[in-house]
Amino acid sequence: MTENETTMGSNFITAIIETDLQANKNDGRLATRFPPEPNGYLHIGHAKSIFLNFGVANTYKGTCNLRFDDTNPSKEEVEYVDAIMEDVRWLGFDWDDRLHYASDYFVKLYDFAVRLIQAGKAYVDDLNADEIRKHRGTLTEPGKNSPWRNRSIEENLDLFQHMRAGAFEDGTRVLRAKIDMAHPNLIMRDPTLYRIRKTSHHRTGDQWCIYPMYDFTHCLSDSIEGITHSLCTLEFENNRPLYDWVLDNVDAPCHPRQIEFARLNLSYTVLSKRKLIQLVEEGRVSGWDDPRMPTICGLRRRGYPPAAIRNFCNRIGMAKRDSVVDVALLEYSVREYLNKRAPRVMGVLRPLKVVIENYPEGRVDELAAVNNPEDPAAGVRKVPFSREIYIERDDFMENPPKKFFRLGPGREVRLRYAFFVTCTDVIKDEKTGEVHELRCTYDPATRGGDAPDGRKVKATLHWVSAAHAVDAQVRLYDRLFDKANPDEKKAGKTYKDFINPDALEVLCGCKLEPCLAAAGPDYFCQFERMGYFCVDSKDSKPEALVFNRTVTLRDAWAKLKKKS
């Protein structure tokens, strides 16, 4: 792990691991794996699993493999494989040479299946999917045996070989485990092990037309790789008896222990693959990497640092109960990290022109500004000041309410690192009444931002010199949904009805400090008093800068305004 201040916090899984390690199980070895199916992009929920698996391996000097669970050729693509590897790496984890694919085990898996048949524990079923479902029974009624359940081992072997050879069409036959059609756990009612799929696979091409199912593949892949602790989410709890059954009934190299934990849910967010795909396909976002998306690539483009995501994963902990983590905790983690590292610059997002009437025309002051008050090593820069500047529209009110400390007619405020200025006149559009310029005077004695006479001012404003400003487009991002639980079933509404129309606001003609002219793809900073921003990795050009708002600063004033 790089740049990580955190060690894995303790939880029920680390407790199990420590017990196993102390008991010298698996010769004191720890091996985990992160097993994504390459049929979509990784999201913050996967980050929790990645953090767990790699994190636990790191803290207990074990190993963590990356394994693609690619047993369904009709859903999986290389595009996803590449994206997943990029995302895991970006999150700060490394699998060294331990990159695996379940498809690499197809031959071994086939042999295991043959041995299962030879042991009389698997059979080829001629029932179709519909018939199998009807034989399965229900939650409360037992299932019925398939008429093909008692074929001879020889016939099963022959049929299975023919399945592999392509003698049968898709859906006409499957290989099933012979367990118990009356088992109270439906998963155990003769689960399907292999199905026929005459589809090319992204890695094995047309070598196979039968593909193993998850329950058969996963446990054996774990075993082949010598995994000691197989960590997965709660919905696989029902599958654990089958995981164990398969390993107990073939000559498996080892028997990993499966442990289930609760998947991550986040407020104001959806994390189901299906819904994320819909958002992309219906054009409700610009793509998988839209900065509003909870995907890893979306968060990356939004400017969320990987270390902040890791810290978040550590903070949310690990347990078995269903839970919904407040997205505010994620945002807190991002701010916490960025506060320490983001250089401070001034950027005026909604410019209001200010003319300093007693400041000489043509004159430019170079003022020293601190780059990062949290990091003295970041040093100081020069910022040009001149007669015409821009300030934030929200920093001026003609009729300020009680708690508004900023600029108003006749009021004096500080321009950060520059001078005290007093508003002397408000110039408005005659027709609309909209304020479009302010006239101020400045006090030359306050150069740098302090008054020699000790007088105080209630506000400090950020500003940019008009003549020196760099123009940019700024994209203000916010939560994608405006409802804490977008999945709440109510009055026929769906999560799509709760998409936040204000999750993206595009601002053009923003005025930035001249030092930002050279901001490249990986640049991030704090626009003082506005939030943390980063250069958009896709759309920003040197001559047309685009910034994304990563997250706002905490804003006590906004909170006050909201209350009244």
Map the footprint of RNA across residues 278-337, applying CB under 7 A: 315-326, 328-329, 332, 335-336
Nearer to RNA, 61 or 561 (CB): 561
Stretch that binds RNA, among 154-162, 283-291, 367-375, 510-518 (CB under 7 A): 367-375
Phi, psi of 7 (to 5 degrees): -110, 155
3-state secondary structure of 313: helix
Residues 507-526, interacting with RNA (CB under 7 A): 526
- SS (HEC) of 411-471: CEEEECCCCEEEEEEEEECCCCCCEEEEEEEEEHHHCCCCCCCCCCCCCEECEEEHHHCEE
Residues 65-84, interacting with RNA (CB under 7 A): 69, 71-72, 75
Among 61, 89, 133, 436, binds RNA (CB under 7 A): 133
Nearer to RNA, 78 or 544 (CB): 78
Instruction: State yes or no: residue 398 binds RNA (CB under 7 A).
Output: no
Give the integer Cα–Cα distance in Å for 145 and 182.
Answer: 9
Report, in Å, the least distance between residue 542 CB and RNA: 26
Site string for RNA, 463-502 (x = CB under 7 A): ----------------------------------------
Give the integer Cα–Cα distance in Å for 229 and 227.
Answer: 6
Nearer to RNA, 104 or 539 (CB): 104
For residues 349 and 527, is the Cβ–Cβ distance under 8 A? yes
For the CA atoms of 205, 207, 208, 214, what is the dihedral angle to 10 degrees?
-60
Report, in Å, the least distance between residue 523 CB and RNA: 17
Report, in Å, the least distance between residue 544 CB and RNA: 26
3-state secondary structure of 375: coil
Residues facing residue 188 across a β-bridge: none
Nearer to RNA, 37 or 158 (CB): 37
Q: Which residue of the set 136, 197, 273, 284 is catalytic?
A: 273
Instruction: State yes or no: residue 187 binds RNA (CB under 7 A).
Output: yes
Report, in Å, the least distance between residue 287 CB and RNA: 23
Report, in Å, the least distance between residue 182 CB and RNA: 10
Give the integer Cα–Cα distance in Å for 89 and 81.
Answer: 12
Give the integer Cα–Cα distance in Å for 278 and 268.
Answer: 17
Give the integer Cα–Cα distance in Å for 22 and 60.
Answer: 11
Residues 96-125, interacting with RNA (CB under 7 A): none
The verdict on whether 273 is a catalytic residue reads yes
For residues 180 and 189, is the Cβ–Cβ distance under 8 A? yes
Instruction: State yes or no: residue 138 binds RNA (CB under 7 A).
Output: yes
Residues 231-260, interacting with RNA (CB under 7 A): 234-240
Nearer to RNA, 6 or 11 (CB): 11
Residues 158-177, interacting with RNA (CB under 7 A): 170-174
Place of tokens 């963590």: 64
Instruction: State yes or no: residue 426 binds RNA (CB under 7 A).
Output: no
Phi, psi of 363 (to 5 degrees): -85, 145
Instruction: State yes or no: residue 22 binds RNA (CB under 7 A).
Output: no
# chain residues binding RNA, by CB under 7 A: 93
Q: Which residue of the set 37, 86, 374, 388 is catalytic?
A: 37
Among 4, 25, 28, 37, binds RNA (CB under 7 A): 37
Element (H, E) at 347: strand 347-348
Stretch that binds RNA, among 279-287, 288-296, 356-364, 401-409 (CB under 7 A): 401-409
In sequence order, which residues have a C-beta less than 8 Å from that of residue 498 and are 6 or more positions away? 481, 482, 483, 486
Among 435, 459, 466, 470, binds RNA (CB under 7 A): 459
The verdict on whether 496 is a catalytic residue reads no
Residues 207-236, interacting with RNA (CB under 7 A): 211, 213-215, 218, 234-236
Encoded tokens for 160: 């299975």
For residues 549 and 367, is the Cβ–Cβ distance under 8 A? no
Residues classed as catalytic = 37, 263, 273
